[in-house]
Structure formats: structure tokens, C-alpha cells
Amino acid sequence: MRVWGKKKLSGGISIKRKFTPYPKIDIDEIEESIRQNREERLKFVRMYAEWVKRHSNKEWSSQQRELMGNPPVEEKDM
């Protein structure tokens, strides 16, 4: 650790401030992480789009209603 300064406290006591150097950044690792994240997002979006195509809005809204803790709506209420 490197010392970058002293600070005086009340009563004449001084302390040394220390800092740790920044960690080394691996650009290739960051780029790979960004690429993997993008692929995962696209995979999820495609999967969800397929789900939306196969299910009706009515089914989706009833699932959302249950998720929010509301009782299901009867057919006559819709």
C-alpha cells in the first residue's frame, strides 16, 4: 500500500491515509462478459417471443393477476 498523505486529528494526533492500487483490468475478459450477456439476453427474448406467440393475452393476463396475488377473474367478469 502506498501512503498518500497525513491527516491531523484533534489533539495533535496524525494518521496516514493509505490506498490500494486499482486492480488490473482485463479488457478481453470484459469483452467476453459483454458478449455472453448479449447472447443470454437475445436467447431470453427469443424464448419469450415464442411463448407469446403460443399463448393468448387472456392466459397471460390471468397468470399476471395470480402473480400479483389477485384472485382469478371468472369468465363472466371479463
The neighbouring-strand residues paired with 5 are: 17
The domain segmentation of the chain, as residue ranges, is: 2-68
Q: Answer whether 0.85 is exceeded by the pTM.
A: no
d(CA 43, CA 53): 16
24 — phi, psi (to 5°)? -70, 140
pLDDT digits (tens, 9 = 90+) for 14-57: 666 666 677 788 899 999 999 999 999 999 999 999 988 998 98
pLDDT digits (tens, 9 = 90+) for 56-70: 988 888 888 888 887
Tell me the three cell numbers of residue 63: 397468470
